[in-house]
Amino acid sequence: MSGQSANFATMFRVLMQMQFARLRRSWRPYIVVSAVMPAGIVLLLHLTNPRMSPSERLNIVAGAILLAESIATIAMLSQYVAWLKVSRALDHYRVLPVSLEMLVVALTSVYGIFAWPGVLLISLEGVYLDHIPMHFSPLIIVFMLLTGVAMGAVGTIIGLLAPDEGLAGLMGNLVMMAVLFLGMVPVKSLGPWTWALWIFPSTGPLAILKGLMFFGPFNTWSHWLGLILYASIALIVSSYFIKRPT
Amino acid sequence: MTVLEFDQLSKRYGKVWANRDISVRIDLGSIVGLLGPNGAGKTTLLRQLVGLTRPTTGKVRIGGRLVVPGKRWVKQIISYLPQHPLALGDLTVEEAIRSSALLRGQSWRDADAHTQELLEMLDLAPLRRRQVARLSGGEHRLVGIASVVVAPTPIVALDEPTNELDPLMRHRVWDFIQNLRHPERIILLVSHNVLEAEQVLDRVLIMSHGRIRHDGSPQSLRQDAGDLLKVAVTVGHDPQRLEGDLASLGAEIRRHGLLVEFTALRVEALALLARWLADPGLVEGVTINEPSLEDAYLTLRQQWAGDTLPEETSS
C-alpha cells in the first residue's frame, strides 16, 4: 500500500494560493484595517505634537510599521487560526499529506504580506510628513517576511491555544497593544525584567528596522540573529501545536 | 488479505467513553459501512484511524504497520471526508478540487483533467468559478466529496458522504462510491442512510454505546434481526386496538394517518394479522413486504436500546 504527496515546490505554491485566496472575502479587514490604524496614529501624533525630535519621529514611524504588521499577523491571524480550530476546518490540513511547518510558513508570510500596503503608507508619511530620510534596501523585503513569520507564529500559537475566536481576538489584541507600546514608546530598561522585552516578537525587529530604513548601514547582525532564532522557535512551537491530535 | 486492523481501540474523554475495545480487521477490496445511532462512536473511530484523535488505549495498524498520528505515510494512504466543512471556503469550486489533487501528488495536467471530469460528473461545472463559501450545504458537500475522490488513496474514509444532498445527487454519490471499489482499496463510510448504503456495502459494522454490536454482511444483519416481515395495514375502525396489540409485541411502528407500518417477527406478525382479519372492518387493506436492511437495523436497535452498559458513552 502506498500513496503520494506533492513535491515541496507544488505544495508551497498551492498552500500560498489557498492563503492568498482569503483576500477575496476579507480584503477590507486585512488590508485597510492594518493600514489605517497605525497610519492614523502617525498622522495624529504629527498633528498634535509638531515639536517632536527626529528620534521620536523615527520611533513612531518604525513602531507604526511593526504595529501594522502585528495587526495582520497577531490580531487577525490568531482569530483566523482559532476559527480554523473551532470549526474543525484545520483537520482538513491535518489529514492532507502536506508539511504542517510549511502550512505555518504560508499562513504567517501571507498574513505578513497583507500588512505591506500599510507599511508603504506609513513609510510615505515618514518621508513626506516627518521628513525622515529613508533608505530602501532589498533586505527590507527579507526583514518584512521574517518579521511576518515571527509575529505570525505567535498569532498562530495564540489561535491554537485559545478556546474560541473571541478569546483569541482578545489575547491577540493584548499582544498587539504590547507591540504598540514597546514599539512607539520604546522602553529603555525594565530593571531586572528587561529580558522580558525579548518575549515580544517586535523588540528585535524594531532595532533592525531603524538600522535598515533610517540609518542605512546593516549593523544590527545580533538582532538579525535574534529575529531568525525567534522566528524558528515560534515556528517549531506553532507547528507542534498544529500537529497535536486531540 | 487483512490490511486495516483496529486492535482493542478505545477513547475516553474524562469519564465518558466515546468508544471501547473496538477490534476489527478489514480486508482490501471491501466497502464497509459504519452504522449506528448518534453518539455511538462512529466518527471517533474514523478520527482515530486518520490520526486526528489519539486513542486512549489500543492500536490501529495498516498492513501490519502501526499508525502514528501525523505521520506522512498515513496521510498518503488515507483520504478522509469529515462531516464538517473543509478549509476550502476561500477558493473557487474548480480551484478547491484541483488543489486537493495537487496536494495528493498529481501532476498539474492530471489534476486539471480529473477536476474537469468531476465537475461534469457531479453537476458542478456551472459553479466552477463560484467561491466554495458561497455554495449551499449540498453543493459544499459535493465539493468535499470531489476533493477526496479526485485522487483516491488506498483507504478512503467518508463520514456521512450524502448528508444534505438531494435524492438524485445521493444516488449519484452512491454510484460514485461503488465505482471507487478497487481490489487494492478499502472504503470505510459512516452513514445514517441504511437504506441507500445497503446498495454498496459488503460489510456492515453497527456501533451502539461505543461498541461494535454487529459485524457481518447486510444479509447477516437481517438474520440477526430474526425472520422479519414488514407489514403495512390500512386501519378501518378501532385503531387503538391495533396499536395496543403492536405495543405488546414491541415492534417498530410508523403511523401515517390511517396507514400503520410495522416490522415484526414473521410468526408473530402473521398471527396478529390472522386475528385482525377475523374481525370484519378492523382492517381495510394489508401489504406485506420483505424487510430492508434499514428495517432489520431498526429492529435490532430497539432490542439493544433495552440493554444496559456499564458506562455512559458519547461520540
In this predicted structure, the answer to whether residue B311 has a pLDDT above a threshold of 50 is no
DSSP state at residue A213:
I
Interface probe with B: pick from A7, A15, A92, A239, most Cβ of B within 10 Å: A92
Closest listed residue to residue B72, CA positions, set A4, A106, A12: A4
CB A111 within 8 A of CB A148: yes
Task: Please name the residues in contact with A230: beta carbons below 8 A apart, sequence gap of 6 or more.
Answer: A150, A201, A204
* Residue A237 or residue B237, greater confidence: A237
DSSP 3-state of B35: strand
DSSP H/E element including A124: helix A116-128
Cell of residue A208, nine digits: 533592525
B44-65: pLDDT as tens digits: 999 999 989 999 999 999 999 9
> CB distance A5–B53 less than 8 Å?
no
Cα–Cα distance, B186 to A235 (Å, whole number): 36
Query: Which residues of A are less than 8 Å from B78 in CB distance?
Result: 3, 95
**A158: distance to nearest CA of chain B, Å?**
19
Q: Is the dihedral of CA B72, B76, B79, B85 positive or negative?
A: positive
Alpha-carbon distances of A25 from A30, B90, B143, rounded to whole Å: 10, 7, 19
**Topology of domain B224-304, CATH:** Alpha-Beta Plaits (3.30.70)
* Residue A72 or residue A25, greater confidence: A72
Cα–Cα distance, B5 to A46 (Å, whole number): 69
Q: What confidence score (pLDDT) does residue B315 get?
A: 44
> CB distance B153–A3 less than 8 Å?
yes
* Residue A24 or residue B127, greater confidence: B127
Q: Is the dihedral of CA B164, B168, B174, B180 positive or negative?
A: negative
Query: Which residues of A are less than 8 Å from B75 in CB distance?
Result: 3, 5, 95-98
Interface probe with A: pick from B90, B108, B187, most Cβ of A within 10 Å: B90
**B244: distance to nearest CA of chain A, Å?**
47
Size of interface A-B (CB pairs under 8 A): 112
Choose which CATH entry (1.10.10.10, 2.60.40.1760, 3.40.228.10, 3.40.50.300) describes domain B2-216.
3.40.50.300
Please list, residue by residue across A111-138, b when 16 or more beta carbons sit within 10 angstroms of its beta carbon and e when fewer do: bbbbbbbbbebbbebbeeebebebeeee
Q: How many CB atoms lie within 10 A of CB B168?
A: 9
Cα–Cα distance, B120 to B252 (Å, whole number): 42
Q: At what angle do helices B93-103 and B108-121 cross, to 10 degrees?
A: 130
In this predicted structure, the answer to whether residue A138 has a pLDDT above a threshold of 50 is yes
B72-117: pLDDT as tens digits: 899 999 999 998 888 899 999 999 999 999 999 999 999 999 999 9
Task: Let me know the angle formed at the C-alpha of B175 by B174 and B178, rounded to the nearest 5 degrees.
Answer: 90
Cell of residue A24, nine digits: 477575496
> Which phi-psi region, left, alpha or beta, contains residue B79 (left: φ > 0; alpha: ψ -120 to 50)?
beta
A184-236: pLDDT as tens digits: 666 666 777 777 777 888 888 888 888 887 665 556 788 888 899 999 999 99
Strand partners, B211: B208
CB A8 within 8 A of CB A101: no
Q: What confidence score (pLDDT) does residue B305 get?
A: 66
**A237: distance to nearest CA of chain B, Å?**
16
> CB distance A18–B102 less than 8 Å?
no
| Nearest residue of A to residue B144, measured between CA atoms | A92
Q: What confidence score (pLDDT) does residue A9 get?
A: 93
> CB distance A14–B72 less than 8 Å?
no
Alpha-carbon distances of A156 from A174, B85, B154, B242, B293, rounded to whole Å: 15, 20, 33, 63, 47
Cα–Cα distance, A10 to B107 (Å, whole number): 9
Q: How many CB atoms lie within 10 A of CB A101?
A: 15
Cα–Cα distance, B120 to B116 (Å, whole number): 6
CB A115 within 8 A of CB A148: yes
Q: What confidence score (pLDDT) does residue B313 get?
A: 46
Its ipTM equals 0.86
Domain carrying residue A130: 2-243
CB B73 within 8 A of CB B120: no
Q: Where are the domains of chain B?
A: 2-216, 224-304
Closest listed residue to residue B142, CA positions, set B114, B123, B155: B123
> CB distance A84–B87 less than 8 Å?
yes
Closest listed residue to residue B22, CA positions, set B38, B11, B36, B6: B6
The amino acid sitting at B220 is: S
A106-115: pLDDT as tens digits: 999 999 999 9
Number of separate domains in chain A: 1
Q: What confidence score (pLDDT) does residue B2 get?
A: 55
